[in-house]
Amino acid sequence: MVSSMRRFSQDEVAQERLRIIKYYAKYGERTTKEAFNVARGTIFVWRKRLNLSSGKITSLIPFSTKPHNFRVMATDPKIFEYIKNLRTKYPRLGKEKIYPLLASYCQKEGLTPIEESTIGKVIKRNNLYYFRQGRVYHNPGSKYAPRQTDVGHLQMDTMVTLATGVKEVCLFCH
């Protein structure tokens, strides 16, 4: 049902384009531009599509303008392996500290170094987060803080208030 509704709305666009083509043939370029604000070249493209399809109105239905090929971030495999090894050995090493190490590595290897922001993208896209055993570590890609499910775990927050010069500490247990 949804697809037929989309098709119907696209047919309305095709009907409008056919109406503009006919208006252009009858009244010319200037009045069509004033009435519909459509360029002459666009009308010619629509007319050509209509003629090539032997007058089928479905040829005027707009097609997807999504690109066929997307730009893919290409990183040299040696650079990726170097970043991966650094993150494995030093899990808390961030992109800012990796950058100078990578720059010197690339200079030795004769590679073009990648920028600091690209290092961050490589870490994030390839999920290069390594956790030490026995520790709870928050993965920035997960959007949620870690929750303890063990029996006996107690989470507390403290709040210090200064009222009339006296320090009061309040504990909140979860």
- Specify the pTM: 0.46
Residue 5, pLDDT score? 47
Q: pLDDT: is 144 or 49 the higher one?
A: 49
Encode pLDDT of 93-119 as tens digits: 899 999 999 999 999 999 999 999 999
Contact 8, 14 (CB under 8 A): no
CA-based nearest residue to 45, from 86, 17, 8: 17
pLDDT one-digit tens code per residue, 54-108: 988 888 988 888 998 988 888 999 999 999 999 999 888 899 999 999 999 999 9
Longest CA span, the chain: 89
**b (16+ CB within 10 A) / e for 17-26:** bbebbebbee
